[in-house]
Structure 1
Amino acid sequence: MPKIVDHEARRMELADAVGRVIARDGVNEVSIRSVAAEAGWSSGALRHYFTTRAELLAFACEQVIQRVTTRITGMRHTGTVHQAVRETLLETMPIDARRYAEASVAFAFLTLGLSDPRLAEVQRIHFGSMYGLCLQIIESLDTEGLLAPHAASTELLARRLHAVADGLSIQRLAGHLTSEDMIAQLDAYLTEIIRGA
């Protein structure tokens, strides 16, 4: 009987290997060869799934976006509004090894997209997903009367929240903040925008 191969599981295995290479060695070290070695595959076997480095990177980032989205939509909050917003945003930020690897993949596309239109499109998807999450948070707070007094539109407030979350993540990835510092800065900003936080 021929062996049944779960091709989707194998593609996910490769996406995880991309994340490990980026987190450990940086995005410049991602290649068909390095990812194959990380996954314990031959380069030829990997090329059955991805023929170029760009395809491999794009798939890895798309998987990060999908995993984070799935985790966030599955969350059930029981604490305060501040805690719920904090927990939601922290799913996107590099506070532990798993989320550090995911953020490393996602933010690698800031520079990769400058020279490759396919990767630029993936970066736009990541940016749009994060902005959409921030807009959903701000609109929900506004609808429930939980936003601190403000004169800005919900769209502008969402852009600011997005800038804070991404800015703190980039500073963490660059080694300028510890996870604890990043969380403290996020908490400080949420205290400013959530009424009674």
Structure 2
Amino acid sequence: MPKIVDHEKRKEHIAEAVLRLIRREGIDSASVRRVAEEAGLTLGALRHYFDAQHDLLAYAMRLLIARVGARIERLPLAGQMRADIEAIIAQLAPLDEERLAEAEIWLAFAGKAVSDPAIRALSQEVHEALFDAFKRMIVALCERGLARPGIDPELEARLLHALVDGLVVHYTTYAEHLDPAGLMRIVSAHLDGLIRRD
């Protein structure tokens, strides 16, 4: 009886090989040939799923993004906006080995987006989705009367987005200057500045 192959599981297995290679050796190491070796597949077997490097990279990054999204969906949010926002942001920050790996891979991917139009399109899509999520957070604070009066939700969303992106880059690149608790103290202080005092 022929072996039944779960094609989605096989694609995830290949994507895991991509992510391991990127983290260990950099994004340029994730060629179709090297990924096939890392995944323990023949080049022909891998090409059955992915024809080119940018297809591999895009699928792997979508998998990583989906995992972060699923982790956020599983959060036991308490319905307290300020605390819930902080909990969501913590899932984007490199606070443990899993999230540090995601941040390192994402930064390698973002670097590649500068010169690769196909990767840039996905990077832009993720950037805009993150901004939209931050804006929804700020708008929700305003609608519930929790935000400082008179704030500009779009500007505050851009500031929060830039802060979180910057902290991810700083911690991932210069961990000796910032620890996870310090990173979250900065996020917390910023969120405190958004909340009305009365």
Instruction: Give the TM-score normalised by the residue count of structure 2.
Output: 0.88
| 1:48-87 → structure 2 map (5 Å cutoff) | 48-78=48-78, 80-87=80-87
Q: CA offsets, 1:105-154, max 9 Å, x none?
A: 333232212222111111011101111110111111111111134x4421
Q: 2 CA distance for matches of 1:48 and 1:181? A: 46
Q: In the alignment, does 2:153 pair up with 1:154?
A: yes
Q: 1 CA distance for matches of 2:11 and 2:18? A: 11
Q: 2 CA distance for matches of 1:75 and 1:118? A: 32
Match of 2:94 in 1: 94
Q: CA offsets, 1:40-73, max 9 Å, x none?
A: 3333322221121111111111122222223323
Residues 1:3 and 1:98: Cα distance change in structure 2 (over 3 Å): same
Residues 1:133 and 1:61: Cα distance change in structure 2 (over 3 Å): same
**In the alignment, is the contact (CA less than 8 A) between 2:32 and 2:43 conserved in 1?**
yes
Instruction: Give the TM-score normalised by the residue count of structure 1.
Output: 0.88
Q: In the alignment, does 2:165 pair up with 1:166?
A: yes
Match of 1:186 in 2: 187
Kindly state the Cα deviation for residue 81 of structure 1 after the two structures are TM-superposed: 3.2
Q: 2 CA distance for matches of 1:133 and 1:107? A: 20
Q: Which consecutive residues of structure 1, in runs of 5 or more, have no partner in the other structure?
A: none
Q: 2 CA distance for matches of 1:179 and 1:25? A: 25
Q: CA offsets, 1:139-197, max 9 Å, x none?
A: 11111111134x4421111111111111101112212433233222212212222335x
Q: 2 CA distance for matches of 1:142 and 1:13? A: 43
Match of 1:14 in 2: 14
CA RMSD of aligned residues (A): 2.0
**In the alignment, is the contact (CA less than 8 A) between 1:23 and 1:100 conserved in 2?**
no
Q: Which consecutive residues of structure 2, in runs of 5 or more, have no partner in the other structure?
A: none
How many residues are matched? 195
Residues 1:35 and 1:96: Cα distance change in structure 2 (over 3 Å): farther
**In the alignment, is the contact (CA less than 8 A) between 1:19 and 1:104 conserved in 2?**
no
